[in-house]
Amino acid sequence: MATCEVRGHIVDSQFYSTGYTTDEARRIFCDKYRYQRWLDVEAALATAQGELGMIPEAAAEEIAKKAHIRNIDLDAVQEGLKTTSHSLLPLLNALQQVCDGDSGEYIHYGATTQDIQDTAQMLEIRDVVTIVERDLREILLRLTVNSERYTDLVTIGRTHTQHALSMTLGLKMAVWLDEVWRNYERLMECKDRLLVSQLFGGVGTMDAFGDKSLELLSRFSDRLGLKVSLTAWHASRDRGAEFLATMAMIAGAFAKIANEIRSLSRSETGELEEPFQAGKVGSSTMPHKRNPEMCEQVIVLARLVKANAGLGFEGMINEHERDYRGVRLEWVTMTDTSLFVCGLLSLMKTILKDLIVHENRIRQNVDKAATLISTETLMFHLGETIGKQTAHRVVYETSMEAIETDQPLIDLLMNRPEISGKFKREDLERTIDPAHHIGLSKELTQRVIDHVKKQLSKAAPIDEAIRTCPLSDQGGACTV
């Protein structure tokens, strides 16, 4: 009889997790991997202290050698958690047990628990940022391809859900591209503020480290590949709040794009459609349905991320020099947000890569709406002869009549005394050709494409590989 493995969070569901995150992201937050990161930070601390003569060099070497989760009795750690109610001490005790001689006495020398856990969390977030940066670059390149492909495709511009004026599909996508680029810039700008170490002791004075404190901080940070903070941030959780807010903006931009694709996939519109493959079922009772479920899931994930961003600001409210209320919020919000954003980006890559554009339907819709979406140009054309304000009144009144009576606008205009005898019908029909008044759609599209391509060409390569749990290749010992 098969055993039931407890999987209480949606991202851990054996059946539904792929709608919320990716295996790549889940592995970052594996329980055992988190412990390994804590051990890595302890090893880096001991090694730096050994180099500076703050602890015996032999002890530092032994600690670094044994600071691997495969050496740790995790059952003992779990029992220790029940006894001590302390998140780190049982792991340190287990590490001490496997260190030879008195080397274990020098573990965690002068540090406070939050130094280790905050630093390790930034190592986790560094991997997340690497994934987000990589995926954003892929999406930016895909959007440049799509924008270029549809540079000349005339479509209906809509405002307040109504037909407005003509434009190109390329420009619509270039607007998406521009917003995604700004969020990419935001991510790059926050990296330097975000990815820093923490090693300041109980109340942030570094007293236990003596006169080598700052040199120790520098070596410790360099060894871990993190930047050095100017002072302690145990109770200053603005970095976490900025990360969550940045992720919320990234997610929100893609939710807007997904919502637009969803809106334009309505049966009445039928212009865009998310990827579809044979076998994909939209309804258990209506076999004809092709629902935009990926787009809807992107919006779901963005809403979850937005909710966590609010908790990030709550986490900034702490007392005195240390307070775990903000930190414990981050253990949930930064983890969940990271998982959801990685899932969202994976979905968006699929949606944009294989986005279905129904060009014929777009052209049909443009042709059908040609007269009314050309009223601005028509007004200015008429205004040259009868005055702009008069033209606005005439076109407005005639447009309302056309909508209410379902009669052709041009027919109604030619019967107006302000128009009859002053304009030729063929001139007005040429004027309302949507392709003749797309403005600078093509130029603006190319302007965005050129800018993004230029900036991406100057971007440094992403040479930092996503780290994997050291137990993940040992017969499934590390599971996600």
Q: Is 221 left (phi over 0), alpha (psi -120 to 50) or beta?
A: alpha
pLDDT band with cut points at 50, 70 and 90 for residue 225? very high
- Alpha-carbon distance of 199 to 214, in angstroms, equals 10
Of 1 and 196, the one with more pLDDT: 196
Of 414 and 243, the one with more pLDDT: 243
Please tell me the predicted confidence (pLDDT) of residue 476: 41
CB atoms inside a 10 Å sphere around CB 328: 12
**What integer is the mean pLDDT of 451-466?**
86
Q: What is the pLDDT of residues 241-264, one digit of tens each?
A: 999 999 999 999 999 999 999 999
Report the top-level CATH class of 28-106.
mainly alpha
Of 426 and 285, the one with more pLDDT: 426
Q: Is 22 left (phi over 0), alpha (psi -120 to 50) or beta?
A: beta
Distance, CA of 181 to chain centre: 12
Share of the chain above pLDDT 90, in %: 70
Average pLDDT of the chain to the nearest whole number: 90
Distance, CA of 473 to chain centre: 29
Backbone angles phi, psi at 5, to 5 degrees: -80, 130
Q: What is the pLDDT of residues 300-353, one digit of tens each?
A: 999 999 999 999 888 888 899 888 888 888 989 999 999 999 999 999 999 999
- Min mean pLDDT across 173-187, 193-207, 359-373 is at 359-373
User: Does residue 47 carry a pLDDT above 80?
Assistant: yes
List, in sequence order, every residue forming a beta bridge with 167; answer none if it has no partner.
155
Backbone angles phi, psi at 279, to 5 degrees: 105, -20
Query: Which residues form the catalytic set?
Result: 160, 283
Helical ranges in 354-440 per DSSP H: 359-369, 375-386, 388-405, 409-414, 425-431
Please tell me the predicted confidence (pLDDT) of residue 3: 59
Please tell me the predicted confidence (pLDDT) of residue 5: 67
pLDDT band with cut points at 50, 70 and 90 for residue 471? low
- Min mean pLDDT across 172-176, 228-232, 383-387 is at 383-387
Please tell me the predicted confidence (pLDDT) of residue 361: 95
- Min mean pLDDT across 78-82, 237-241, 321-325, 359-363 is at 321-325
Instruction: Kindly state the tokens that stand for 380.
Output: 């200015």
Please tell me the predicted confidence (pLDDT) of residue 9: 87
Contact 169, 150 (CB under 8 A): yes
Give, in order, the Cα–Cα distances in Å from 95 to each of 63, 91, 264, 397. 8, 6, 58, 83
Cα angle: 471, vertex 474, 478; to 5 degrees: 45
Contact 196, 226 (CB under 8 A): yes
* CA torsion angle 402 408 410 414 (round to 10): -80
* Entry pTM: 0.89
Please tell me the predicted confidence (pLDDT) of residue 306: 97
Grouping H, G, I as helix, E, B as strand and the rest as coil, residue 136 is: helix
Give, in order, the Cα–Cα distances in Å from 183 to each of 190, 197, 198, 248, 355. 11, 25, 27, 10, 22
The topology under which CATH files domain 113-211+227-274+290-364+450-458 is Fumarase C; Chain A, domain 2 (1.20.200)
User: Does residue 135 carry a pLDDT above 80?
Assistant: yes
